[in-house]
Amino acid sequence: MQPNQDNSAGTGGTRELHLGKFAGADAPVPGQPEGATMIIKRAAVQTAAKAADPAVPADDGTDLPLAVMLGLISYCYERGIFRSDDIARRIGEDPELAKAFGRDLPDGPAIRRFRRRHADAIEETLETLYRAMPAEGGSDTVQIQRQAKDRVHDAAWTDNTSR
């Protein structure tokens, strides 16, 4: 997959993602299929809830709650945006996020620290997305876990080799 591509590879363009949706309190519309962005947002909240206090900042140099950081980073990884500095630039350019979070948006080093500390939670969030919207070729547990682990590994490798 090409970095910064708008849709996930192998899905035929079915995983429509919208960064700005992480800023609002959007909820799924009854009777409408839940999009990938809302699945990631919900999965991030569920994963963060397993932490001692999910409302506490992610302890990565930003004041954003753990669930928000987890959702934003997982969203970017699913889009193929792996470099921490690219992620920071991308989320900083979104007007809805800027309006909702102001100056609390993370910079590249904060995103890098978050990835290192919360890689397992990012994998878990991505696994939830892959279970809900399986890629072509299957949806067995081992394949889904491998796909999520590979995505986080690719992000770490890309980020560490491009600085």
Question: Residue 132: is its pLDDT beyond 90?
Answer: no
Packing angle of the helix pair 141-161, 108-132 (nearest 10 deg): 160
Distance CA 141, CA 138 (A): 9
Q: How many percent of the chain have pLDDT more than 70?
A: 69
Phi, psi (degrees; rounded to nearest 5) at 86: -65, -40
pLDDT in tens, 99-126: 777 777 889 999 999 999 999 999 999 9
8-state DSSP, 65: B
Q: Which residue has the tokens 């999965």?
A: 43
Q: Which two tokens stand for residue 157?
A: 């490798």
pLDDT in tens, 15-52: 455 665 665 555 555 555 567 788 888 888 888 888 65
Which pLDDT score is estimated for 103? 75
Distance CA 111, CA 70 (A): 10
Which pLDDT score is estimated for 31? 55
